[in-house]
């Protein structure tokens, strides 16, 4: 059983340019030159959180990622690259934080945040700095997130407050509880699903059942077929992550996820948080709940005292190396 969180939670020099061949003409507006970001071997470390795997980059020497989104696609390719669900950059501090975080998904898109990814990032920074377990303040596109390394090797993340207003998720589905979209009907693949929409800084659409009362059985879903239909449905103007949930008890659920920009993954930390929030709003689960994902369990707690969500789970180093871009 996962332990709940206490709440305390040089780049190589570029090669010298080669002499220009006489038969080549300079490009219009200036000479042809290669982007310095891809002129040298690229150092990385590979981490995983419940099988959700990432290429980690120590980017704290400059504010912009050292590789492009197109290069991230190449690196994430599991046949022709390193392989991963995304590339995560540890960037210089901002707004009084310890460092900043950005992510490029395996399709090159940039999400606001990633729960499994931020656990891996906290472990990565601690590993390269040789620091003792402590809490970090991380600036993300979803705002301030605070992961804490625990003595037992787990990482507990104060994920902040969920965003419940449907228009801010965003979704155009009509609210059913105040401004929140809870168990709203949505037709996908010829069936009506009951959807609850939550943002954890990134959008999530969660379903526990169909409109006919049928419960979700995660093992019977054709996720690769229906996942893209939810992700790109017109009611989600920024696309969405989609979680399908099967209730075991009030403190234990199973879920599978189709992630925006990454597809089927073994785990999604923000998704697990959104699942518990949705489950509480729908009356299925308690505020402290174990969420089983294909890659393993996470412990999620939505505290009534401060409205913050705490996620506890692993972040583990797999290997490190360098690759030519």
Strand partners, 204: 198, 241
Which H helix or E strand runs over 168? Answer: none
Residue 14 has pLDDT above 80, yes or no: no
pTM: 0.84
The model's pLDDT over 226-281, given as tens digits with 9 standing for 90+, comes to 999 999 999 999 999 999 999 999 999 999 999 999 999 999 999 999 999 999 99
Distance CA 39, CA 31 (A): 17
Q: What is the pLDDT of residue 15?
A: 40
Pairing of strands 241-249, 252-259: antiparallel
Q: Is 114 a catalytic residue?
A: yes
Would you tell me how many other CB atoms lie within 10 Å of the CB of residue 109? Answer: 16
Which is catalytic among the residues 5, 9, 268, 273?
Answer: 268
- 292 CB-side CA count, 13 A: 11
Pairing of strands 86-91, 99-105: antiparallel
Whose structure tokens read 């920009």? 261
The model's pLDDT over 105-152, given as tens digits with 9 standing for 90+, comes to 999 999 999 999 999 999 999 999 998 999 999 999 999 999 999 999
Q: What is the pLDDT of residue 5?
A: 57
Q: What is the pLDDT of residue 32?
A: 38
- Cβ pair 253, 291 in contact under 8 A: yes
- Cβ pair 82, 88 in contact under 8 A: no
Q: Please, which pLDDT band fits residue 324 given cuts at 50, 70 and 90? A: confident
Cis? peptide before 149, omega within 30° of 0: no
The model's pLDDT over 184-234, given as tens digits with 9 standing for 90+, comes to 999 999 999 999 999 999 999 999 999 999 999 999 999 999 999 999 999
Listing DSSP states for 198-260 in one string gives EESSSEEEEEEEETTSPBP-GGG--HHHHHHHHHT-TT-TT--EEEEEEEEETTEEEEEEEET
Which is catalytic among the residues 5, 9, 76, 114?
Answer: 114
Distance CA 4, CA 14 (A): 47
**Whole-number average pLDDT of the chain:** 90
Residue 148, phi then psi, degrees to nearest 5: -125, 125
Sign of CA dihedral 139, 235, 213, 218: negative
> Which CA distances in Å does 143 have to 125, 175, 198?
19, 25, 16
Q: What is the pLDDT of residue 33?
A: 41
Distance CA 138, CA 131 (A): 16
Listing DSSP states for 98-134 in one string gives SEEEEEEETTS---S--HHHHHHHHHHHHHHHTPPS-
Q: Burial code of 36-50, b = ≥16 C-beta within 10 A, e = fewer?
A: ebbebebebbbbbbb
Residue 46 has pLDDT above 70, yes or no: yes
Provide the 8-state DSSP code for 162: P
């Amino acid at each position: 059983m996962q332990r709940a969180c206490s709440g305390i939670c040089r780049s190589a020099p570029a090669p010298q340019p080669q002499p220009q061949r006489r038969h080549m003409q300079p490009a219009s507006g200036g000479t042809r030159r290669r982007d310095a970001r891809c002129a040298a071997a690229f150092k990385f470390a590979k981490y995983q959180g419940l099988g959700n795997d990432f290429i980690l980059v120590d980017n704290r020497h400059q504010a912009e990622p050292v590789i492009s989104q197109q290069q991230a696609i190449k690196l994430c390719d599991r046949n022709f690259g390193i392989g991963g669900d995304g590339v995560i950059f540890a960037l210089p501090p901002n707004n009084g934080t310890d460092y900043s975080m950005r992510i490029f998904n395996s399709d090159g898109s940039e999400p606001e945040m990633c729960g499994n990814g931020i656990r891996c990032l906290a472990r990565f920074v601690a590993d390269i700095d040789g620091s003792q377990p402590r809490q970090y303040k991380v600036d993300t596109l979803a705002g301030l997130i605070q992961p804490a390394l625990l003595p037992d090797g787990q990482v507990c993340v104060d994920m902040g407050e969920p965003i419940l207003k449907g228009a801010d998720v965003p979704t155009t589905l009509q609210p059913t509880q105040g401004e929140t979209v809870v168990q709203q009907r949505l037709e996908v693949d010829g069936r009506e699903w009951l959807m609850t929409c939550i943002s954890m800084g990134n959008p999530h659409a969660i379903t526990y059942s169909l409109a006919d009362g049928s419960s979700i059985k995660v093992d019977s879903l054709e996720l690769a077929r229906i996942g893209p239909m939810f992700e790109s449905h017109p009611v989600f103007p920024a696309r969405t992550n989609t979680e399908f949930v099967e209730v075991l008890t009030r403190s234990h659920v199973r879920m599978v996820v189709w992630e925006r920009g990454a597809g089927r993954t073994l785990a999604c930390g923000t998704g697990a948080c959104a699942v518990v929030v949705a489950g509480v709003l729908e009356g299925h689960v308690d505020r402290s709940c174990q969420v089983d994902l294909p890659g393993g369990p996470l412990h999620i707690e939505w505290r009534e005292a401060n409205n913050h969500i705490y996620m506890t789970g692993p972040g583990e180093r797999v290997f490190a190396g360098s690759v030519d871009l």
